[in-house]
Amino acid sequence: MHSVNTAEFTITDTQHISSDIHGIKDHQISPGCLRTIARLQEAGYTSYLVGGAVRDLLLDRIPKDFDVATSATPDQVRRVFRRCRLIGRRFRLAHVYDGAETIEVATFRGSGDSDIHSEHEHLMENGRIVRDNVFGSEHEDAVRRDFTANALFYDPGKHLLIDHVGGYADLKERRLSLIGDAETRYREDPVRMLRAIRFASSRSLRLAEETRQPIRELAQLLAQVPPARLFDEVCKLMLSGHAYKATRKLAKYSLFKQLFPDVSVTLTADGSLQASPMLVQALRNTDQRVRDELPVTPGFLFAVLLWEPLQQRMAELTQTGMNAMEAMTQASDELLFVQSRSVALPRRFGAMCREIWMMQHRFRHRKGKRAVRLLEEIRFRAAFDFLKLRAVEDPRMVEPAEWWEHLQTLGIERQREELGLPANAKINQPDRTGKKPRRRKRGRGKPGSQPSSGGG
């Protein structure tokens, strides 16, 4: 039994839970991870499987990654393993290579005390902590993690689950709890609010009362987070296979408006998501594609998310006498610029948004070379899927979507007839592999489209 006290959390009883209770089996853990832990233990170091892998095993899910925490320093880890590389600056990690596997090994990190700040820790005026991490004990390592469910250690050698913070009981109750005072932890790092939503949504956990209670009041703290970091977090949320559920929770806790200030998303009295039918369908389609292990690109999702405010701004510009394409161009630039202040899209995804939006105007051309050029565009499939989503809320788009879908099922000769082309006209069939066509000399390349990106 151990007792560790910090300003944030008090541990009174460390639990050692046997295999007949926790039910974790070694065959559920990657062989490379098991060998890494065994080698470190044989060398005299305390070593465990940690974090999300332990959480997911207890929830009967297949972990994506297996991480190791140890008492060995990075240099000591490197001396144990011949195939090992140290990475990181402020806190060094070891990557151990076992066959095709790469196992991340981290030294136990120091306590997250926020009352007594060491020379390695700096508290900013807004309460956020910038910490030059230091090594510590396994107890300190557990306490400094964000949620109790992520602070469990598993020792494969002894088949023991080690719980310093009550995470096992929380998981048995399917409850997600922050370690320590929730407001303090959110102020230290506001992204923890998004992580709470992601874990609750993707693992079907309920937020503990003390964990969820401060979120609405502190939602505006997301404005302090670099927009590029928020893009990464939004992608994790939206591409988790639970985008619809996560969006409902973001709206419920006033977080969605912080991320997408121009997008209208709220909840009805009964808790249903109130958004454009196009967006709702896109979220559901995205979830299904993730479950089917099909590709989804953030560029497509952002194009859907921002379509409604784009149309509103275009309407304002056309009223000033600007034509539709000019209005589309200016509205796209303005909207993506404003959005970048909250969640910044990398340039390639912003370009994809523009291409998808611009191509919508071209679907009205069904005859001749202009229709052929559209069919051969690299982004054709994404733009077509976007058109089908538009048909969900705009009856005028149903017939065009059906026509273009039918066209793609036809052979070359029938396509020529539909497009009003002469019998000898060349039509390059779109590449359905999703690979970007290679450039070839003198126009010998074979243009194609990328696969559906989340809307079909």
Instruction: Give domain limits for the chain.
Output: 4-178, 298-443
Is the pLDDT confidence value at 238 over 60? yes
Give the mean model confidence (pLDDT) for residues 403-408. 94
Residues of the chain with pLDDT > 90, as a percent, come to 74
Give the mean model confidence (pLDDT) for residues 208-234. 96
Which residue out of 146, 163, 170, 287 is catalytically annotated? 146
Secondary structure, 3-state, the chain: CCCEECCCCEECCCEEECHHHHCCCHHHCCHHHHHHHHHHHHCCCCEEEECHHHHHHHCCCCCCCCEEEECCCHHHHHHHCCCEEEECCCCCEEEEEECCEEEEEEECECCCCCCCCCCCEEECCCCCEEECCCECCHHHHHHCCCEHHHCEEEECCCCEEEECCCHHHHHHCCEECECCCHHHHHHHCCHHHHHHHHHHHHCCCEECHHHHCCHHHHHHHHHHCCHHHHHHHHHHHHCCCCHHHHHHHHHHCCCHHHHCCCCCCEECCCCCEECCHHHHHHHHHHHHHHHCCCCCCHHHHHHHHCHHHHHHHHHHHHCCCCCHHHHHHHHHHHHHHHHCCCCCCCHHHHHHHHHHHHHHHHHHCCCHHHHHHHHCCCCHHHHHHHHHHHHHHCHHHHHHHHHHHHHHHCCHHHHHHHHCCCCCCCCCCCCCCCCCCCCCHHHCCCCCCCCCCCCC
Give the mean model confidence (pLDDT) for residues 333-339. 95
Which residue is associated with the tokens 């499939």? 381
20 catalytic per annotation: no
**With 0-12 CB in 10 A as exposed, 13-18 as middle and 19+ as buried, what is 393?**
middle
Write down the CATH number for the domain with range 4-178. 3.30.460.10
Q: What is the mean pLDDT of the chain?
A: 87
67 catalytic per annotation: yes
Give the mean model confidence (pLDDT) for residues 200-221. 96
Is the pLDDT confidence value at 450 over 60? no
User: CA 112 to CA 12: how far, in whole Å?
Assistant: 17
Write down the CATH number for the domain with range 298-443. 1.10.3090.10
Give the least confident one: 50-64, 209-223, 260-274, 418-432. 418-432
Which residue out of 13, 65, 75, 132 is catalytically annotated? 65
pLDDT confidence of residue 394: 94
Give the least confident one: 119-123, 258-262, 312-316. 119-123
User: pLDDT per residue over 49-89, tens digit each?
Assistant: 999 999 999 999 999 899 999 999 999 999 999 999 999 87
User: pLDDT per residue over 115-154, tens digit each?
Assistant: 333 334 444 545 454 444 588 899 999 999 999 999 999 9
pLDDT confidence of residue 411: 87
98 catalytic per annotation: no
Report pTM.
0.84
Is the pLDDT confidence value at 274 over 70? yes
- Dihedral sign from CA coordinates of 182, 187, 189, 192: positive
Tell me the pLDDT band of 353, cut-offs 50, 70 and 90.
Answer: very high
